[in-house]
Structure 1
Amino acid sequence: MNPSADHAVTVLISRRVRPGQGAAFEPLCRQLMAVASGFQGYLGSQLVTPGEDPEADDGLYHVVLAFDSQAHLEAWQAAPARALGLAAMSPLLEAGHSIRPVSGLGLWFQPRHGPAPAAPLRWKVALVTWLGIYPTVGLVFSGLSPWLANWPLWARLGVMTAVVVAAMTWLVAPQLTRWMRPWLYRQPAAKPGRPL
């Protein structure tokens, strides 16, 4: 997948940390993310530690990194400051890493461990997203509407959409991904990517 230069780009980077080195790795990774935040086009990043992912094995860390364009992501990847940060982390890491470009809601359907598959086809992501959102919105609407009936429309929508997004991110989409993984994913991607 090659996002066009004028669209936001999100990547999921996975690295395995050597046993006992997590406490040293995490601050270095957060520091590198802070450095990235000073680069043009930076939209955000998040570190997911093994403790935050009940399905992950020990030592596997993930970073979600977003820039507003492919060109700005590549500028960050070519930056000397990034190279210095990666060099500082290198002794703490097992060999190898994986990087998965993620498009739109596809991030909900990226497995957090195991071999890196090719990104799901967009129509499959759209269908599975609808299968998750339809009942989730229905449940949230029927459950919260009586309690929020006297609230202004903008406030009701804000609360309901926040609950739907949280449910999709941490409950519904991961479960749908497990159930529908064989159908969602093609064979693992063969070409390597570049790390954070």
Structure 2
Amino acid sequence: MSTAAAPAAGAVTVLVSRRVKPGHEAAFEQACAAMTAAARPFPGYLGGQMVRPDPEGDDEESNLYHTVFAFDTPEHLQAWQNSPERAERLQVIGTHTLSSTQLREVSGLGHWFTPAGSAAHKPPPRWKVAVVTWLGIFPTVYFLFLTVAPFLADWPLLPRVMVITLLVVLLMTWVVAPRLTTWLKPFLYPLQRDKT
């Protein structure tokens, strides 16, 4: 799958993880391509990207596929998720997978800076999210340009940008943002720091 458009400010990004049966990889990827083709005409579909398993990874990760896709609003995502087109293609995909699908929704950048297990926190102001997002993205992108980008130098521009931005999102979501949330909690939640 390929990214079709830049996510809007209120876009909903979904990460889907599926463990594929050995020997079913090609059929699974074809079924996922059909799923993408079915989603593309739906209102608000912004695009997506498949992340294949690392061929040199351990046995536990050898058949674990991830798909990241986005819709511009939760309502458009819901319309796709409730559609017969999606249900039909999920049945086909299910014949190639070993376990139930793991689905995680991430709505907006504010999710990056929501402390784990603290649903009572009021979201920080957008300007603070913007500042802390930049503090996370700047060193992350710089690190990727030093380490990953040289290996992609011969690739066309669009695939290079897709790989780098996908790595930025994954690193921000699971590595950088959780640490920044802890370190900068007094800045993000100044009125709530004494309650936690």
Q: TM-score, normalised to structure 1's length?
A: 0.56
CA contact (8 A) 1:18 1:93 kept: yes
Give the deviation of 1:94 after TM superposition: 1.2
Give the deviation of 1:26 after TM superposition: 0.4
Q: Tell me which moved more, 61-70 or 127-136.
A: 127-136
1:79 alignment partner, one of 80, 83, 100: 83
* Correspondence 1:7-86 to 2 at 5 A: 7-51=10-54, 57-86=61-90
Give the deviation of 1:11 after TM superposition: 0.9
CA distance in 2, matches of 1:58, 1:130: 34
Query: Runs of 5+ in structure 1 lacking a partner?
Result: 1-5, 110-116, 140-162, 186-196
Residues 130 and 64 of structure 1: is their aligned pair in 2 closer, same or farther, counting only changes over 3 Å? same
CA distance in 2, matches of 1:81, 1:138: 41
Residues 71 and 102 of structure 1: is their aligned pair in 2 closer, same or farther, counting only changes over 3 Å? same
1:174 alignment partner, one of 166, 171, 175: 171
CA distance in 1, matches of 2:118, 2:51: 20
Give the deviation of 1:59 after TM superposition: 1.1
Number of aligned residue pairs: give it.
152
* Correspondence 1:1-196 to 2 at 5 A: 7-51=10-54, 57-105=61-109, 129-135=133-139, 169-170=166-167, 174=171, 177-178=174-175
SS at match of 2:101: strand
Q: Percent identity?
A: 43
SS at match of 2:23: coil
Q: What is the Cα-based RMSD across aligned positions, in Å?
A: 4.6
Residues 54 and 71 of structure 1: is their aligned pair in 2 closer, same or farther, counting only changes over 3 Å? same
Q: Residues 111-147 of structure 1: CA distance to partner in whole angstroms, max 9, x if unpaired?
A: xxxxxx88999769867644434446889xxxxxxxx
Residues 132 and 23 of structure 1: is their aligned pair in 2 closer, same or farther, counting only changes over 3 Å? same
Residues 38 and 60 of structure 1: is their aligned pair in 2 closer, same or farther, counting only changes over 3 Å? same
CA contact (8 A) 1:9 1:102 kept: yes
CA contact (8 A) 2:19 2:98 kept: yes
Residues 19 and 67 of structure 1: is their aligned pair in 2 closer, same or farther, counting only changes over 3 Å? same
Residues 108 and 182 of structure 1: is their aligned pair in 2 closer, same or farther, counting only changes over 3 Å? closer
Residues 78 and 134 of structure 1: is their aligned pair in 2 closer, same or farther, counting only changes over 3 Å? closer
